[in-house]
Amino acid sequence: MADQSIPETRTPEETPGAHAGPGVHDATPRGGISRRRLLGTAGATGLVLGAAGGAVGYAAAPSSAATPLTSVGSGQAMFHGKHQPGITTAMQASGHLVAFDLKPGAGRKEAAALLRRWSDTARRLMAGEPTGTGDTDVARDAGPSSLTVTFGFGHSFFGRTGLDRQRPAALDPLPDFSSDRLDKARSNGDLWVQIGADDALVAFHALRAIQRDAGSAARIRWQMNGFNRSPGATAHPMTTRNLMGQIDGTRNPKPADTGFDQHIFVPEQGEPAWMANGSYAVVRRIRMLLDDWEQLSAKAQEDVIGRRKSDGAPLSGGTETTEMDLEKTDADGKLVVPINAHARITRPDQNGGATLLRRPFSYHDGFDPDGVPDAGLLFICWQADPLRGFVPVQRKLDRGDALSTFIRHEASGLFAVPGGAAQGEYVGQRLLEG
């Protein structure tokens, strides 16, 4: 839970509705009228249901009277591109993380066919179109809602497909950490899929389509559900809060920052070649011990984090974006930002420049039998090399982070996420057909 996460501000390219227009496709049935036009016309004229046959009066309204989607529903991310979607895309309100294992007997050929199916399904759904034959209609009334679907490969995938020589060194298993209480059944996996959308039904629709596409090639190993604040829920764009009530993510790197691509993405000429423009995702299910946390005073919570709970400003003063003064002391000569404060320990300048792009979801999976909430953070961080990104930061946290008393790492995964698919390609094609 480093002091880095994506604020809820969106660039023009990421703002819901920014791509609504020629790039947002209506799913048009054979009758020639799109589902969105149909719904819009129904809203404009009413449904005239006759007792004899239930005839619907659509023809009376001109096409220009169609009701447009809301700004949330019309937001569209692009499937094809240099990088896969869901990495620098603004955080969405609803998310699913799911890992698959290839079934016995499935190998490279079956994996290639699966990634081809998955890529086609993701492309259609991200454009607001149905999946094709057998679509469940769960998201029939919705637009793309900024849906993204992102695919990655786990360490075990390469052995199962005979591609051991193509496995990146950066995908070596993560070291053990003292805060780990990992459930192996909910960790790792051959394949990983990240789904995010600003509408929960759109996200579930994609999850169900991906699971159905797996068919005889792969079976689900584990699946987790998460959420964030919905777009427009605050009076103005602001950094989100986590389930501890803290503003979480002030110092996340931004694509416009110098060196962003160097820290987050594998270079064009990087190794292995099939990972060019890709990234590595560390996924951790971090349970927050909320009953213990909520017993602390607000001042004690602020000392654990190193920032004010009200507005996210550093304890050394200023606003949320003010640079933290690590040397400032109070009248008694004590450091204003405690030496073990989470925000101090996670800073890149305290970790040899290690930089992570955090893009998490909160989660709540009910309560234990004794009433303790099973809630926390689905931590996802992106970097060009986890041995230079996540690992040094987590080792530092392991040695003395004040927050470690109130959290527990319960599941973990590391996945190689290749670059985006070009037009006519599927994700991972350069690996599976190279």
Q: Is 292 a catalytic residue?
A: no
- Where do the DSSP E strands lie in 36-122? 94-102
Whether 343 contacts 308, CB under 8 Å: no
Q: How far apart are CA 277 and CA 425, in angstroms?
A: 15
Burial 297-334 (b: 16+ CB within 10 A, else e): eeeebbbbbbbbbeebbbbbeeebeeebebeeeeeeee
Would you say 66 and 35 are in contact if contact means Cβ atoms under 8 Å apart? no
CB 90 within 8 A of CB 8: yes
* Integer Cα distance of 289 and 214 in angstroms: 35
For helices 108-126 and 200-214, give the axis angle rounded to 10 degrees.
160
- In Å, what is the CA distance from 360 to each residue of 1, 90, 97, 336? 9, 11, 11, 28
Q: Exactly one of 3, 248, 303, 401 is catalytic; which is it?
A: 248
| CB-CB contact of 210 with 193 (8 Å) | yes
Extract the tokens encoding 5. 């996460």
* Residue closest to 27 by CA, chosen among 37, 19, 17, 18: 37
Q: Around Cβ 417, how many Cβ atoms within 10 Å?
A: 25
Q: How far apart are CA 187 and CA 194, in angstroms?
A: 14
Residues annotated as catalytic are 248
